[in-house]
Each structure stands twice: as structure tokens, then as C-alpha cells.
Amino acid sequence: MLDGVDLDVEPGELVAVVGRSGSGKSTLLHLLGGLDHPDGGRVEVGGRAVTGASERELSALRRDSIGFVFQFFHLLPELDGEANVLLPSRLPNAPKGTAERGQVLIDRLGLRSVAGLAPHQLSGGEQQRFAIARALVADPLLVLADEPIGNLDAEAGATVLDLLRSMADEGRAVLMVTHQAEATARADRVLRLEEGRLGVVTGSALAAQ
């Protein structure tokens, strides 16, 4: 349950949210992404209203402006890595240049040599990089990442965090839910969600996590 949460994430900013399991971190991401509906208040992405929007408007907003990165990748098992990345380009009214951007991302993320493999043939780090490429293929304004390195080893996790940091540095707003210190170390701000409320984590409190 969230209670009076007030949050702005600016373009070019990486914000990390920490908190105990069940504190509402994933709910926060779902509300921002239009997957859940708040009982009150207002949610906007890039000046476009999420609250009160129709399902058609929400679908268009998620397609055009929001990229989701999940802990469990959610790649479609029947498609190879490249096809998973390019899937958003096949949606009706996909932004112009989406397919071309997908190919560029596959090369940029070092995935070309494994682009034809099925998800079960890929390492966890490779699967997450494909998932990130898919999240970025429509060049979203906002990236929502839910425990993006929770299932990765240290090396793969560092690669993914570098990518999230670069997304913010390129002008996107990035909101990451995490419980790992190596992830919060990359953030511009760290917020704690506790009893439904957000508060700023100071350096000493962060070190004590």
C-alpha cells in the first residue's frame, strides 16, 4: 500500500528505490507504467497522463514512452534473441525506425553472435541484455527496472548496471527498484520505501544496508 508518494524522475537521472519485500516497490513501478491504477493522485510520463487514461491510451503510452526491465527477463521462449528485441517493431503504429534501432542495440550490447539463439541457450546476462535492448527499442522517455540484476552474477550484473547508467546519461529517466548496494552506487538518488512512504536515503543509512 502506497501512501501519499510524491516522486519526480527527471530526464538524465537514475533513481534507485530500496525497501523491504512487500513494501510496495513493485507496485510503484506498476503504477508508473500504467499496469495498476491508483486510488487517488496523479501519474504522468513525459507530460502525458497515466491516471484516467483509457486502455488504448495506456497501451500507446507504454509502447512509445516506457521501457520495462524485469528481474526474470520475460523473453518469449519460442523466439530467438533478435526476434524478442524486434517484437515491439511489429506492433501496430510502432514508432518509425524501431526495427533499425533494434539492430543497432543488438550490436551495441555485444549480442550479434548469439542473436539467433533461443532464450534457453543464453546465459542470464545475455538474456537480460536482450531484455534491455527490447526495452529500449522504441527509445522510451522512462525506463522502469525491477530488480534488474537480481538473478545475475557479479560480472553480468555490472554490465547491466553500466547499461542502465548509460540510459540515464543519454537523457532518459530511469527508475530502478533494487536491494543491492552495487546498484544503488550507480544512482543519482536513492530513496527508501517504508510503510508506503518514500524518503531520501542518506550516505550513512545507505552504508548500513
CATH code at 41?
3.40.50.300
Q: Which residues of 148-180 are buried (b: 16+ CB within 10 A; e: fewer)?
A: bbbbbeeebbbbbbebbbebbeeebbbbbbbbb
The conformation of residue 201, written as its DSSP 8-state character, comes to P
pLDDT higher than 60, residue 204 = no
Domain extent for 195: 14-73+140-207
Residue 87 lies in a domain: no
Residue 58 lies in a domain: yes
Residue 84 lies in a domain: no
Residue 197 lies in a domain: yes
Residue 124 lies in a domain: no
Residue 110 lies in a domain: no
Q: What is the pLDDT of residues 94-136, one digit of tens each?
A: 778 889 999 999 998 889 999 999 999 999 889 988 998 998 8
Residue 167 lies in a domain: yes
Residue 120 lies in a domain: no
Q: What is the pLDDT of residues 162-197, one digit of tens each?
A: 888 998 999 999 999 998 899 999 999 999 988 777
pLDDT higher than 60, residue 208 = no
- Model pTM score: 0.84
Task: Give me the number of domains the chain comprises.
Answer: 1
